[in-house]
Structure 1
Amino acid sequence: MLTSTAAFLRHSLIPTKRALRLRLAPLHAYMLASIGFTVLVTLVDYMILQPDFFAPMWLFLHGFAIFFFYMMTVAFVSLYVQFVTRVRQQKAWPYRQAWPYTVAMTIVPMFIVILLYHVVPDWFTGGLLILVVYVTWPLLRAPVPNKRQPRSR
């Protein structure tokens, strides 16, 4: 289980054509990756924000909020992935395939977006552009099926 999650994370670091295979990843791989992302972001936020609140309660509530908003982002980006695949291949990926691919391709850019928001809030939009490019790049490298011409008799 941990080896497949580690492989999932390793292949999601760089947007390549090989990342397209992540759409067939097992459920535990992308859910553990999502939980790991949530824990990492929660700890980074705790170190940067240094809240004057009861730490365990803050970590739990903030982690829950991060996970919720990350899953909402993945849901919307999955719809974008389906749109891009429908435009390029005339057939959209099923949502059960778009979701794992989107989780894989949003982990790194979302972390960059969050860091940019903490360091330079004005660059937040640039971080969202990185997210779109990161998700779209492998999709544009996917092979497009050839349209066959009907035979004339």
Structure 2
Amino acid sequence: MSAAASEEIEIIEKAKSLLGEDYVPNDDEEYMNKRQQAYFQMLLLEWKRSIHSAAGQTLQSLASGPIREPDLNDRASSETDWGIELRTRDRQRKLISKIDSALRRIDQGEYGYCEVTGDPIGLKRLIARPVATMTVEAQEAHERREKISRDD
């Protein structure tokens, strides 16, 4: 096990002991207090760990042998399935960089605040999308600008 992985496990265990088993952030607390930060840090680390686990399973399946289906249709179907699986893993690889960025923002005390406006992103949005970097309004404005520039 790598030093980074053991450090992540240690952080998760520390967060679990701080939070208790059934803690969920709520609006009655001070926004982005230590307990909420620990909750999101644990959530992000668990998500990252599950992605790494799934990627490891994919690698094991790939290493178990090449596709050697005798029927051309079966082979084409298998290759299509593998292509989808590999694209999924590529998207998850990109997601890991977003998770790492969110973890850095937690360490720097910037997590939970919009990178455009500086306003709180909101607990419901962060629970739904822990890697969010903008408020819903800022994200919508960003997507409108992106669509307009794409249409030009």
Normalised by the shorter chain, which TM-score bucket? 0.3 to 0.5
In the superposition, the TM-score normalised over structure 2's length comes to 0.32
Q: Which has the larger radius of gyration?
A: 2
In the superposition, the TM-score normalised over structure 1's length comes to 0.32
Report which structure shows greater RCO (CA 8 Å, sep ≥6): 1
